[in-house]
Structure 1
Amino acid sequence: MTDSSPFILDVSHCLRDSMPEQFRKVGDTPVRIGAEMIGVSEGTEVVVDGVMTNLGGGVMVDATVTAPASGECVRCLAGLDKELSIHVSAVFSGSDDFITGDEADEDDDEVLEIVDNTVDITQAVIDEAVLNLPFNPSCENLGVDCRESGTDVPEPDGVSGEEEKVDPRWAALADKFQDLEEN
């Protein structure tokens, strides 16, 4: 990651001041964000708006990330576009003794750390995007009918109410077997 990443935030002022600090950062994402079939492509402009709060030895970052996501319908393969808006909240430690407990549990998540007065929320953004985007996006997820997508793929069984249409993906096989049925 480079310092030009919108997900790398300078917390030096926040560590010196006890008041929460609002920030806005706009830049191109250095990595792809999202699931396999829908996500924010690398190099797409994202907007990160949020608040950094000094926790006395650590920093909490609450941010909203907004970016255009694109992908394909898993059913008809039509292009899908969606405005992605996710909320990320992460705590970063400034020292080893920031978060301690009576019993250390080795299974606990690793505490994120402040490095050179910066914090990196990239992984938190990726994780939250994967949880918020549909794993199998379809036109229906976005309130669009697959018939409106401009493809010849018929509706799933029991939905269309129209005469039976042959799926264009199987049309060649249907023609072949139709010849066999005529004999």
Structure 2
Amino acid sequence: MSEHRTASRSAADHAPAGPWVIDTRDLGRRPGSSRSYHRSVPAGSPLGVPEVIEVPSDARVELGLLLEAVVEGVLVSGTVTAPTVGECSRCLDPLSGTVEVELTELFAYPDTATSATTDEDEVSRIVDDRIDLEPVVRDAIVLALTPVPLCSEDCPGLCPDCGRRWADLDPDHGHDKIDPRWAALRERFGGTEEEK
């Protein structure tokens, strides 16, 4: 009974801790060995700029990755795809789309020259034979999102006077503007000659 418990605990210790974590023991440390991974993982929290453009928290992030053992660690490369929502920065219409990111990241073994000679934020690390993809993927997605999303490249935006979409207005749409210095006279005499 205690042997079974020890074996279960040992297996649990080496099990991936969440959908973003990959156990590299299956890959081994022999340079040149590789393995493909295809996963659909929950975003968990919004990625991007809230109310501008983001991957929503309930979205699924699709990972199509190749893990390759190299001398200094594990090289992760592949494609990350996720749906996006937001609003046009000119006309404020809702937007939806997809962000696709090409990912290439080295995860260093703890006992290598790369690990010893680089800062924590320079190179990702393999910890207990596991790699955590979440920080790398999140950073890549946020950097790939445009800070000024548009519904179309030629979106005319909003009329600055009435706030309506230029695309919905007549070509001759305009607003009469009166010089503020004449506004008091207009109020007193009920308008201009042209208006009478």
**TM score, norm. by length of structure 2:** 0.67
Partner SS for 2:148: coil
Q: 2:128 aligns with which of 108, 113, 116?
A: 116
Alignment of 1:93-132 (within 5 A): 93-99=108-114, 109-132=121-144
- The match for 2:38 among 20, 24, 33 is 24
1:75 alignment counterpart = 90
Residue 74 of structure 2 aligns with an amino acid whose one-letter code is: V
- Structure 2: tracts of 5 or more residues without a match: 1-15, 188-196
| Residue 66 (structure 2) pairs with residue 51 (structure 1) | yes
Shift of 1:69: 0.5
Give the C-alpha shift of residue 73 in structure 1: 1.1
**How many angstroms apart in 2 are the aligned matches of 1:137 and 1:68?**
14
Greater gyration radius: 2
Equivalent pair of 2:91/2:156 in contact (CA under 8 Å): no
Judge conservation of contact 1:33–1:125 (CA < 8 Å) in 2. Answer: no
* CA spacing shift, 1:95–1:4, aligned 2, 3 Å: closer
8 Å CA contact retained: 1:27, 1:45: yes
Task: Tell me how far 1:92 sits from its aligned partner.
Answer: 0.6
Deviation at residue 165 of structure 1 after TM alignment: 4.1
* Corresponding residue number in structure 2 for 1:169: none
| Equivalent residues in 2 for 1:160-171, closer than 5 Å | 162-165=171-174
Question: Cα distance, 1:105 vs. partner?
Answer: 7.4
CA distance in 1, matches of 2:145, 2:130: 28
Matched, 1:85 2:97: no
Tell me the equivalent position of 2:23.
Answer: 10
- Give 1:109 shift: 4.6
**2:172 partner letter:** E
SS where residue 89 of structure 1 aligns? strand
Matching residue's letter, 1:163: D
What is the identity percentage for the equivalent residue pairs of Structure 1 and Structure 2?
23
Q: TM-score, normalised by structure 1?
A: 0.71
- SS of 1:76's partner is coil
Contact 1:90 1:121 in 2 (8 A): no
Please point out which of 40, 56, 59 is paired with 1:41: 56
